Amino acid sequence: MVRIGQSSDIHQLVEGRDLILGGVKIEHTKGLLGHSDADALLHAISEAILGALALGDLGKHFPDTDPKYKGANSLTILSEVYEIMQSKGYKIGNVDSLIMIEKPKMAPHIDQMRNNIAKALHCEEDQISVKATRGEKLGFVGREEGVLAQAIVLLEK
């Protein structure tokens, strides 16, 4: 049996926060605002897995009202989602994801992101796709106000 899940996550870019995407701390003048480390890419992947399992959204399992998740490393959250997935008898078929961010360039960081995600999900790097695109100065992404990440996952039993 296979299941497909998809999700998107948006976080505002602000000064005074670290920019962490795919578990990689990226040097930039702005970072992502959120209760945890606000890693929009890992949040989208985590929620896509939960969606494929019909288990609701990320906030149901990791509420932003819970002090336990204040400043939490999203790789830890993704690892916990992996445990939920595994307990239901599923494994990753593949992950296809996209980061929409105007600046900085993601290309130098994508290999490390893929490695981090594959480790957290106990799969091979060639099962993890991370792509990035700019907003071309259009919308909130283009104006550098925020980041949008999307993910689609295929789970196999």
Q: Where are the alpha helices (DSSP H) in 53-154?
A: 58-61, 74-87, 110-120, 139-142
Tokens of residue 110, six digits:
């994508």
Binding-site residue numbers for a divalent metal cation are 9, 11, 43
**CATH tag, 2-156:** 3.30.1330.50
Phi (first) and psi of residue 75, to 5 degrees: -65, -35
Binding-site residue numbers are 9-11, 35-36, 43, 57-59, 62-66, 101-107, 140, 143
Three-state secondary structure call for residue 27: coil
User: Given this model, what pLDDT does residue 93 score?
Assistant: 98
Kindly list the domain boundaries of the chain, sorted by start residue: 2-156
Q: pTM score > 0.85 for this model?
A: yes
Report pLDDT digits (tens) over 100-114: 999 999 999 999 999
Tokens of residue 32, six digits:
């992502």
